[in-house]
Amino acid sequence: MNDNKIKDFAVFITLILMVLVLTGCGINNIPTYDEEAKAKWSQVLNTYQRRADLVPNLVNTVKGFAAQEKDVLTAVVEARSKVAGMKVDASVINNPQAFKAFQDNQAALGSALSRLLVTVERYPELKSSQNFITLQSQLEGTENRIAVARRDYIEAVKRYNTELRTIPGRWWRSLLYSDSQPMATFTVEEEVKQVPEVKF
């Protein structure tokens, strides 16, 4: 072999080794985790939308049996309109204020729905209505889906944010992905954190 062929072969081997090292050292982790978190966010939005879609039917069913519960019904309708009126897209997860507003509006709707379901306890004929039973079952299933979607999103964001803050992710971010920003995640509402006081 002449010197030129040896040099070409050495350059070729060096390039192959560099590609292997770069693919194995996390250069693609940031965009991969970013896409995963965005996909999980889409699932969160889908489950919340499913809940919002159930609200009008639930309100109409309750209204037919318990029209006198106007305040509770109005609170549910107003909370749903706030949720529906929010502009929610992928940029929300990189904007802590918008994310908090989203979370607060969803929590308000959840709270209003809880008050509505407590109110229903006073109306046995409503509780035995097949339409209400079906809607209540769908709502309970949707709440479970919301919990799962939120959990999956939180895990994906944790992985992504950790990659941005640790080495070698920090290096790759500064070199190649400088526009990558940490994503917001769900927090536990203050009411949930408070331990109930038990008195005997």
pLDDT per residue as tens digits for the range 77-105? 999 999 998 888 888 899 999 999 999 99
pTM (whole model) above 0.85: no
63, 196 in Cβ contact below 8 A?
no
User: How many beta carbons lie within 10 A of that of residue 85, not counting itself?
Assistant: 8
Q: Which of 148, 183, 178, 147 is nearest to 162 (CA)?
A: 183
Q: What is the mean pLDDT of the chain?
A: 86
Provide mean pLDDT across the span 29-49. Answer: 94
Residue 70 has pLDDT above 50, yes or no: yes
Give mean pLDDT, residues 181-194: 72
Q: What is the mean pLDDT of residues 136-157?
A: 94
pLDDT at 198: 41
> CA end-to-end span of the chain, whole Å?
93
